[in-house]
Structures are given as C-alpha cells and as structure tokens.
Amino acid sequence: MKSFILGIINRFKPADDTPPEIRRARQLIAAIDAGGIPLDPARITRIAEDMGLEVSKKARLEVTVERIRVALKRA
C-alpha cells in the first residue's frame, strides 16, 4: 500500500526542483518562442509578479515578456 501511495505522489511531483513560478515563466517563454501568441495579459502579469517583478498596469505586453526573459537569465 505504501508503494502505491508513493507512486502516485511521484507521478505528480515535478521532475526538477525549480520553483513553480520559474517553471511557469519558462513554459510561457517556450510557448512564445514556438510561435504562440499570449492571449491573457493578466496571466503574464501574474507570472512576472510571482517572479518578484513590479509590473505597471500600463506596461505593454512585449515589455513584460522581455523583463521575464531577463529575469529567467538571472535565475
């Protein structure tokens, strides 16, 4: 029984130990680089804020994405 529970826990456990906000930012940048267009500016702002960036409500989406890229290079 114990191995069954550990198997379920390991299945949902992330493969790496990076913080979730860094993982989400990497997924966002990978999707954009693959040709995706971000449709939810609030989601991108949330990701940036979770990474500790201060984002103005008037900031253009492209500027916020670029700031996320720079923050990921530092991480």
Please, which contacts does 60-66 make with residues 24 or more away whose CB atoms are closer than 8 Å? 65/28, 65/29, 65/32, 65/38
Q: pLDDT per residue over 6-32, tens digit each? A: 777 777 766 677 889 999 999 999 999
> Are 24 and 50 contacting, i.e. CB atoms less than 8 angstroms apart?
yes
CA distances to 3, 35, 57, 63 from 42, rounded to whole Å, are 41, 19, 9, 14
Break the chain into its structural domains and give their ranges.
40-75
The per-residue pLDDT of the chain, averaged, comes to 88
Total-model pTM: 0.76
What's the pLDDT score for residue 14?
A: 64
